Structure 1
Amino acid sequence: MSRTAIIAGAGHLPAALAAALPSPLVCTLDGFTPAGLAVDQLFRVERLVPFLRALEDAGVTRVVFAGAVQRPRLDPSLFDQGTAQMVPRLLAAMQAGDDATLREVVAIFEEAGFAVVGAQEVAPDLVPGPGILCGTPGASDERDAARAAAIVAALGAVDVGQGAVVAQGLCLAVEALPGTDAMLDWVAQTARRPDPNGAKGVFYKAPKPAQDRRIDLPALGLETLKRAHAAGLAGIAFEAGGVILLDRTAMIAEADRLGLFLWAREP
């Protein structure tokens, strides 16, 4: 019987995917433990080839990547011969940016004979289609969301980020290496709208234009809602079919409680 391996990082997404799979093999990069999920196997990049063989021995035929990781510090003394031969291609990809690194990782798993699938294939209910899930965006919110979508597309084209905050047509902040939480915290502490009584602003999230959507699909959770509310925003818009909601029911209830809209916007 074929088996799916979850290559898990930090956060709640791995557990959400595990709940949608029969007997998944949960594997995690050493140092990046998923929330609320027991790990079957730890691995290190320096021992990637033995890890791929262990997946095959366990009956794994497909893998899904889920959760947050950072580039690990490599220990040259731990490399096996097979993995050492991959080092030049991995380093070249890392120097080209996050997207190139992820594409190279996918290629390595595919070359080893595994089908790489996206979270949206494993658990399609996690990725909402077009529609307003909660609240009612106004005309100014729609304009701000459109402006933010254009900014995110431009950022993504140069492999920078997947989110932006726009209010009254002005970009208050963009997502970079520190991530979504840091961006929203900065808006809460620093950003000022030109008209204090005007539109509050919108946080928009979307995949990068050329991104392989089988890996690193952007995700939104309850913490994002709380930070968006603290930042004084009117709501959150995101690309329909391109963003994961970690707990849709809980997020809709919380957005409603906070008075925020949630909008899966058609690209």
Structure 2
Amino acid sequence: MTGRLAILAGNGVLPVEIATAHPEAVKVVFDGVPHQLSGDLQPHAFEKLGGLFEDLRGLGVTRVVMAGSMTRPPLDAPAFDPLMISLAPRLLSAMQGGDDALFGLIIEIIEEQGFEVLGAHDLVAGLTAKEGLLAGPVPTADLLADADRGADILNALAPVDIGQGCVVAGGLCLGVETIQGTDFMLRMVAETPDALRRGASGVFIKASKRGQDLRVDMPAIGPDTVVQVQKAGLAGIVVEAGHVMILERDKTLQEIEKAGLFLMGRVL
């Protein structure tokens, strides 16, 4: 499908990276959702999705990408437009489940309106991690064993739609990423008593959930992740090759080298 691209933007640098690569794109922001975009913006409200889709068609949009962090907003039911009223039962049901259920429904709704949904990795070259050592020293066999253990943990949790990341040190799981996010988990790891870590440094593992639609909510790391990993006393980061984005790549790799950590892409 050809036609204009629309970026449905949340917070963070990813919408900015996409807009830089596609300056012709329509930049859509939402009431109550922080963002880092600038220039010509198209503000919309979640309560009026019908108006959003109508405006996108009028602007010649045929392709849509969802990018950036976006918490589940409170919705003002009396402000719903007719389309949103018709969608409300499906949305409310999906919101009772995990992110995969909600994002899957949102993709379904957008496609029902005649738009093609793309992933950020389809639009920005070199966005995802490749397999192999990407920066820093070669990890030890013990650290790679921790990474394998972390992959097993994330695979076990995938059926219940929990977690894109965890920390393993010396074979012990020190934390699993839940709705509070990566930074929260890494702060908790930093506060873990040394006695529980048994002298092991450990690894942060980031991966997609099995069966996850990578067009939305693809896992990502960036410079801030590196800072938190260092504060948590870990040796490095292992990400799932081809399934995790490296945001602000040059800065992230520089931070890895500066911190003395390693970053590796692996098939998990």
Cα distance in 2 between the residues matched to 1:156 and 1:193? 30
- Residues 170-219 of structure 1, C-alpha deviations (whole Å, 9 max, x = no match): 0000001110000001111224355654x300000011111111111011
Alignment of 1:15-94 (within 5 A): 15-38=16-39, 40-94=41-95
Aligned pair partner of 1:143 in 142, 145, 155: 145
Query: Where does residue 234 of structure 2 map in the other structure?
Result: 233
Cα distance in 2 between the residues matched to 1:255 and 1:183? 19
CA RMSD of aligned residues (A): 1.5
CA pair 160-191 structure 1, distance change in 2 beyond 3 A: farther
Query: Where does residue 171 of structure 1 map in the other structure?
Result: 173
SS of the equivalent of 1:68 reads: coil
Alignment of 1:152-171 (within 5 A): 152-171=154-173
**Large movers: runs of 4+ above 4 Å:** 193-196
Query: Where does residue 120 of structure 2 map in the other structure?
Result: 119
1:57 positional shift: 0.5
SS of the equivalent of 2:89 reads: helix
Cα distance in 1 between the residues matched to 2:193 and 2:109? 43
Normalising by structure 1, report the TM-score. Answer: 0.95
Match for 2:160: what amino acid?
Answer: V
1:243 paired to 2:241:
no
Cα distance in 2 between the residues matched to 1:195 and 1:37? 45
1:92 positional shift: 1.4
Cα distance in 2 between the residues matched to 1:195 and 1:98? 31
- Asked if the contact 1:166/1:203 (under 8 Å) is kept, the reply is yes
- Asked if the contact 1:155/1:162 (under 8 Å) is kept, the reply is no
Alignment of 1:188-267 (within 5 A): 188-192=190-194, 194=196, 196-197=198-199, 199-267=200-268
Cα distance in 1 between the residues matched to 2:176 and 2:225? 15
Cα distance in 2 between the residues matched to 1:235 and 1:121? 27
1:150 positional shift: 1.0
Cα distance in 1 between the residues matched to 2:30 and 2:156? 31
1:80 positional shift: 1.3
- Asked if the contact 2:170/2:198 (under 8 Å) is kept, the reply is no
SS of the equivalent of 2:95 reads: helix
Determine what percentage of the aligned residue pairs are the same residue: 44
- Asked if the contact 1:193/1:200 (under 8 Å) is kept, the reply is no
1:35 positional shift: 2.1
Structure 2 residue runs without a partner (length 5+): none
CA pair 245-82 structure 1, distance change in 2 beyond 3 A: same
SS of the equivalent of 2:148 reads: helix
Cα distance in 2 between the residues matched to 1:218 and 1:191? 28
Match for 1:109: what amino acid?
Answer: I
1:186 paired to 2:158:
no
Normalising by structure 2, report the TM-score. Answer: 0.95
1:70 positional shift: 1.0
- Asked if the contact 2:150/2:168 (under 8 Å) is kept, the reply is yes
Cα distance in 2 between the residues matched to 1:36 and 1:48? 21
